[in-house]
Amino acid sequence: MKNFAPLLKKISKLRILVIGDVMLDHYIWGDATRISPEAPVPVVDIAKDSWTAGGAANVALNIASLGAKCTVAGFFTDDEAGRKLAAILQQHAITPLPTPGNGSTIVKTRVLVQHQQLCRLDRESAPTAYQFSIKQAEALLRKAIGEADAVILSDYAKGILTDELVAKVTKLARAAGKFIALDPKPKRRLKFRGLDLITPNRRESYELAGIEPEPHTPYPAQEICRRIHRAHATRNLVITLGEDGMLLSSGGKITRTIPTAAREVFDVSGAGDTALASLVLALAAGAKLEEAAHFSNAAAGVVVGKLGTATVTPEELLAYVAHQS
């Protein structure tokens, strides 16, 4: 596997702007050895709580962890969760760009028993609470886009990314000559066209292509790439296929499939954020798509070997690659 040290050095000089649904990830760690007498459910004896940045904020965390500077634009407010999130961003030298809105800070709480997820509890407002006007968006984002080397739109279908906002950010990024990428959530059917990169997973790629998956049939890679390119004219398409690796496509045609680098998978939480962040960093640093995919694959391979939403450092990545070689 390639030596990524020169690429990591270039990455350390970049600044990336992330726009999307930021949230706080809350973990409750404990054990369950008995069933409640009130209902047939386990009783969890809580050992500890932990918090980290989630959603688009986890994309930002991965960017900072790999050595680049990052600004993140998303909604969070001055509630307890918002203050925790702001402190985490500050700890990692991430510049927050809070957006207007009237909802509560989004929180995902995962209950883990003996390192297995028992359930997830979500706190969030209606999507309209996180939307803001295009006039506000332009005033807030124009300077940040101009200062960035690349822009990432991270959609978790919570409401901040609308058709109008995506169109405005794309226009501003194009006018400033900036690389722009999107991690889509097709169930929201956002309109976008002419981006440099999109990174759906297998299920999302079916939705983007308008194809209903059929059980026990091979993945229709060529047709999916052709349809997505026809609909969205994206320069590069990288489909993350889990244990089957990554599918690379340019101009609607498949260019390569990269096998997965992961040896052991403990938790896939946030692995898509890591793949997106590392792909964009590598491409913004001048890497070709295939090299960027290998870099991203290795970064995701480190993260899925950890429990919970996680990030990867340059040292961990280099050690992982050396062990794989």
Q: Which residues are catalytic?
A: 273
Answer whether 160's CB lies under 8 Å from 200's CB. Answer: no
Q: Give Cβ neighbours of residue 83 (< 8 Å, ≥ 6 apart).
A: none
Distance CA 70, CA 62 (A): 10
Which residue, 281, 203, 273, 279, is CA-closest to 248?
Answer: 279
What 166-171 contacts at long range (C-beta under 8 Å, 24+ apart), as own/partner pairs, is 166/190, 166/191, 166/192, 167/191, 167/192, 168/134, 168/137, 168/138, 168/141, 169/19, 169/137, 169/141, 169/145, 170/194, 170/195
Answer whether 232's CB lies under 8 Å from 193's CB. Answer: yes
